Amino acid sequence: MLESEAINAERMRADFPILSRKVHGKRLVYLDNAATTQKPQAVIDALVRFYSTYNSNVHRSVHTLGEEATAAYEGSRKKTAEFVGAKPRDLVFVRGTTEATNLVGSAWGEKNVKKGDVIVVTRMEHHSNIVPWQRLAKRNGASLKYVGLDPDGTLDLAGFEDLLREAPRLVALTHCSNVLGTVNDVTKLCSMAKRAGATTLVDGAQSVPHMPVDVGEIGSDFYAFSGHKMLGPTGIGALVAREGLLEEMDPFQTGGEMIREVFDDHSTWNDVPYKFEAGTVNIADAIGLGAAVDYLDAIGMERVRDHELRLLDYAFKELASVKGLKIYGPADTRSRAGVISFNYADVHPHDLATILDEEGIAIRSGHHCAQPLMRWLDVPATSRASFYIYNAQDDVDALKAGIVKAGGLFKV
């Protein structure tokens, strides 16, 4: 495929074994990519190859297998770091975005957040970028404040500026909302936060898989993302820190691998990033993530973004003709990612998801781990369809037909 060519999603499906299976006798229409993505054969092969040809622990095994495993694990760190414009030594492998925010909450937060400090998050955060800060604020006597949203589901900039005047210690915000699809201008927001003296953390779980991301350009102190939402295996993700920041932090978990020397009564720490990778690391899945990065690199993230925007435009146009369907979030598709949360008449999202499942269509229904946002939207739940590289117009058509069917059953 040429760099400039649009993604041919139908052809790409051949790389994903799961997409040839049937659900309730129908073609699987997988529209739950914001929850987790499917895996291409190349990623599955990388896992099988590791376990069947060079499975070994990393870093201290002198034998051949150990050296091969170490090279593959560290090679994956390099690829993953370069994929987001970072240096390998600034990237810590974690279980996922949730572990990354918890790591920062503990290893950075305990030392740096003091009584009376303010931590700022936004109303559109996933629970993983709220609850660690709630706990930290409670432990250290700080307060947690929320930036509100404008009616269109974008961040209330004036409100953000007001909170910055309180000189927050930390600003933690999402690059892209997993519910509204809103893409925040994190470069601008991080620069504003920095001027106010705040340390910044960006949740990139919904952005790194879907658009070009350069953490240097964004200028955040911490940037976190998950492997399984970008074609990689579950159980692996990354925390990327601004150069030098990891060195200043205390350890997170302690034990093997993260130490330099252990004495009877004290220990010294390994170099970064190893200081934050206690115990035997998730070698296989880190290598699998490397294979996912290779796959996405070969496509090019600009093309991934273009593909999703085109699909988003098509979906907006098609769903607009479904009477009683309300889409949440920005109306301008350019400022959103391939995520559509909606409600349809009085059909509850769970009922809709059950009816769609019967058609082989997988969507998400519920609060999407964003209850403060649900309260702001004043709904108990939404339905959510989210796209990736293997989705095409036929998936949107199937979704629409499924919604119309639900409308018939519910006599909307």
Partner 1 sequence: MSSADIYREIILDYYRNPRNFGKLERSDIASRDTNPLCGDEIEMQVKLGEGMKIEDVKFTGKGCAISQAAASMLTELAKGKPLEWVRSLAKEDVFKMLGNPDLGPSRVKCALLGMKVLKTGAYGYLGAHYDDPEESDLP
Kindly tell me which of 194 and 405 has the beta carbon lying closer to partner 1.
Answer: 405
Comparison of 24 and 111: residue with beta carbon closer to partner 1 = 24
Q: How far is the CB of 355 from partner 1 (least distance, A)?
A: 4
Distance CA(355)–CA(294), nearest Å, equals 37
Q: Where are the alpha helices (DSSP H) in 3-127?
A: 9-12, 41-49, 64-83, 97-103, 109-112
Catalytic residue among 29, 369, 399, 406: 369
Binding status of residue 349 toward partner 1 by CB under 8 A: yes
DSSP string, 156-179: -HHHHHHHHTT--SEEEEESB-TT
Three-state DSSP at 128 gives: helix
Q: Is 373 in the site for partner 1 (CB under 8 A)?
A: no
Closest contact distance (angstroms) between CB of 276 and partner 1 is: 31
Q: For partner 1, which residue of 176, 240, 374, 403 counts as binding (CB under 8 A)? A: 374
Contact region for partner 1 (CB under 8 A) — 48-56, 210-218, 257-265, 374-382? 374-382
What is the Cα 11 distance to its own chain's centre?
26
- Spatial distance between the Cα atoms of 389 and 33, rounded to a whole number of angstroms: 10
Among 49, 59, 242, 348, binds partner 1 (CB under 8 A): 348
Q: How do beta strands 22-23 and 26-27 pair? A: antiparallel
Residue 352 to residues 140, 229, 363: CA-CA distances in angstroms?
Answer: 43, 24, 9
Query: What is the gyration radius of the CA atoms in the chain, in angstroms?
Result: 22
Q: Is 367 in the site for partner 1 (CB under 8 A)?
A: yes
Nearest approach, Cβ of residue 400 and partner 1 (Å): 17
* Residue among 185 and 358 whose Cβ is closer to partner 1: 358
Q: Which is nearer to partner 1, 132 or 349 (CB)?
A: 349
Q: Tell which one of 68, 250, 358, 397 touches partner 1 (CB under 8 A).
A: 358
Taking the complex as a whole, the smallest distance from the CB of residue 234 to partner 1 amounts, in Å, to 16
Helix (H) or strand (E) holding 374, with range, is helix 371-377
249 versus 406: smaller Cβ distance to partner 1 = 406
For residue 330, the minimal CB distance to partner 1 (Å) is: 24
CB of 103 to partner 1, least distance (A): 25
Considering only residues 309-328, where is the footprint of partner 1 by CB under 8 A? none
190 is catalytic: no
The piece of 81-89, 103-111, 298-306, 366-374 that touches partner 1 (CB under 8 A) is: 366-374
Reference 52, options 359, 353, 226, 284; nearest CA is: 284
For residues 159 and 380, which CB has a smaller minimum distance to partner 1 in the complex? 380
As a whole number of angstroms, the distance between CA 154 and CA 159 comes to: 12
Q: From residue 391 to residue 410, what is the string marking binding to partner 1 with x (rule CB under 8 A)?
A: ---------------x--xx
Question: Least distance (Å) from partner 1 to the CB of residue 366?
Answer: 5
Q: In the beta sheet, which residues pair with residue 383?
A: 342, 365
Verify binding: residue 381, partner 1, rule CB under 8 A: yes
Q: Which is nearer to partner 1, 288 or 407 (CB)?
A: 407
CA distance 132 to 353: 30
Q: How far apart, in whole angstroms, are the C-alpha atoms of residue 229 and residue 237? A: 9
CA–CA dist 146, 119 (Å, integer): 9
Dihedral of CA atoms 170, 337, 217, 201 in degrees, nearest 10, equals 20
Instruction: Please tell me the distance from the alpha carbon of residue 231 to that of residue 385, in angstroms, as a whole number.
Output: 17
Which token pair is 229? 């939402």
Q: What are residue 200's DSSP bridge partners?
A: 171
Nearer to partner 1, 100 or 373 (CB): 373
Among 57, 380, 393, 404, binds partner 1 (CB under 8 A): 380
**Segment near partner 1 (CB under 8 A); pick from 37-45, 253-261, 293-301, 344-352:** 344-352
How many residues belong to the site for partner 1 (CB under 8 A)? 20
Sign of the C-alpha dihedral, residues 184, 190, 192, 193? Answer: positive
Q: Which stretch binds partner 1 (CB under 8 A): 86-94, 95-103, 284-292, 346-354?
A: 346-354
CB of 349 to partner 1, least distance (A): 8
Catalytic residues: 369
Which residues would be at the binding site for partner 1 (CB under 8 A)?
346-351, 354-355, 358, 365-367, 371, 374, 380-381, 406, 409-411
